[in-house]
Amino acid sequence: MSELPESMPLGKVRQAALECFAANGFHGTSIRQIAGAAGLSVPGMYHYYTSKHEILDSLCEVAMETLLTASRTAAERPDTPVLERFDSLIRVMVLFHARFSAIAFVTLSEIRSLQGEARVRHIAARNEQQALLNRLIEEGCAEGVFGTAHPRHAARAITAACLGVSRWFRPEGQNTPEELAEIYVDICRAAAGAA
């Protein structure tokens, strides 16, 4: 159904940091808290990462690489109709933000905490992700598959809807990630003006 993996192994330090960042925010989390959650001493933490920022950068990098790899595969299939590629990309985006809601939420909300080259790389990855959807909708409009008069705005609205899943999705909720992905395919087709 999707090119997205079922799990995203992070290792004990990144997993502990993710839980702390999700609960307290980047600035509300100390290295001591991350070390404690990982079962390490503070000096032991520095064996893995030199700073809290480096951990955040690593989380953002693994999250965006996971999402982008699956998204490229979904969106760039040669000899595949544009609507099928669009549906596949929407499934990837929704499944990512549901299955990996904690890391999706942290990487979205903590962009403001990234500095220097880490911030530049992360924003470039986000822009590439958006460009995949932009191109599909523009291609669909050119072929008469989509009827929106505002392809770029439709693409941004669709992205915002998919990103928003990480803010509210809970595994114990009414729909599985896979069910939610199919619901969002319908919603996003409508937003793009599918014929």
Q: How many structural domains are present in the chain?
A: 1
Domain assignment present for residue 167? The answer is yes
- Write out the residue range of the structural domain in which residue 122 sits: 52-192
Domain assignment present for residue 145? The answer is yes
- What are the pLDDT digits (tens) for 65-105? 999 999 999 999 989 999 999 999 999 999 999 999 999 99
Q: CATH number of the domain at 62, please.
A: 1.10.357.10
- What are the pLDDT digits (tens) for 43-61? 988 888 999 999 999 999 9
- Using a CB cutoff of 8 Å and minimum separation of 24, what contacts does 73-79 make? 73/3, 74/2, 74/3, 75/132, 75/133, 75/135, 75/136, 76/132
Domain assignment present for residue 185? The answer is yes
- Residues recorded for the chain: 195
| Predicted local distance difference test score (pLDDT) of residue 2 | 58
Confidence of residue 7 (pLDDT cuts 50, 70, 90): confident
Domain assignment present for residue 18? The answer is no
C-alpha 70/C-alpha 133 separation (Å) is: 13
Domain assignment present for residue 150? The answer is yes
| Predicted local distance difference test score (pLDDT) of residue 181 | 96
Domain assignment present for residue 6? The answer is no
Task: Calculate the average pLDDT of the chain.
Answer: 94
Domain assignment present for residue 164? The answer is yes
Amino acid at 33: Q
